[in-house]
Amino acid sequence: MSEENNSAPAPETTTNGAPKGRQGGEAVSVPSFRLREESDRRRSAETRAQQLEAQLVALQGEYEKTKSGLGQIQNQHAQDMHLIGLGFQANSVRRFFRREYSDSVAEMQADQRPTFDQWLEASKADPLYSVHFERLNVSQPAATEPEPAPVQNQSDSLLASLREALNANPNAGATQPAAHTGRQYSGDEIASIRGKQGGGLGAQKDSILATLRAEGLIK
């Protein structure tokens, strides 16, 4: 044989000059430690995702709990303000009404439950609740009437009329006082005389003065 026939064929190469694999150009397999690293990273990511999901569920639960608590506080405040507006000042009585309302509507369908104001109004005739409304009506003070103006007695009326008559006539009383004739003059009578005489006592002035002196109302 010739020398050319005995020589081994040259190995095939890839386009970049690297020798091909035995299976007709297949890529070299990935090392096992790389596979383990990728597997560990995947498991770590999945674990972290599960933890975040659990935290999100917990936060949603806390939010709903806080929202429900706030709604209860707002409802209690509104009910308290309504009861206070009606005159129920005792906290124990307001707590009693709130508890009774809660127990009553708990047995009803959600769309059939009355509001607190409606339930309270409908419960006024119930013997369990009417006693509180009756006590409320008793405890509220009745409207006070204005005090009547003090009634001026007859002597005060006579003196006031006499002073007005004397002030209207500065010369009154300058002459000798007249003797008392026994005639009595009431306050209405003096006022009638003054009305007819334009504010004075007219011809009956001396007689009226004498009567008042005799009664000790003037000097």
Please tell me the distance from the alpha carbon of residue 182 to that of residue 201, in angstroms, as a whole number: 18
Residue 136 near residue 83 (C-beta atoms within 8 A)? no
Q: How confident is the model at residue 1 (pLDDT cuts 50, 70, 90)?
A: very low
Q: What is the pLDDT of residues 16-56, one digit of tens each?
A: 554 555 555 556 677 888 888 888 899 999 999 999 999 99
Of residues 189, 125, 134, 131, the one with CA closest to residue 162: 189
Residue 211 pairs in a beta bridge with none
Tell me the sheet residues that pair with 19.
Answer: 13
pLDDT tens digits for 81-123?
999 999 999 999 999 999 999 998 888 888 889 999 999 999 8
> What sign does the CA torsion over 91, 97, 100, 104 have?
negative
Q: Which of 134-148, 161-175, 199-213 is least confident?
A: 161-175
Specify the long-range contacts of residues 212-218, CB closer than 8 Å, at least 24 apart. Answer: 212/158, 212/159, 212/162, 212/185, 213/177, 213/180, 214/180, 217/155, 217/158, 217/159, 217/162, 218/159, 218/162
Q: What is the largest CA-CA distance in the chain?
A: 194
Residues 6+ apart with CB under 8 A from 191: 157, 161
Return the axis-axis angle of helices 91-105 and 32-86, rounded to nearest 10°.
Answer: 120
Between 171 and 105, the more confident residue is: 105
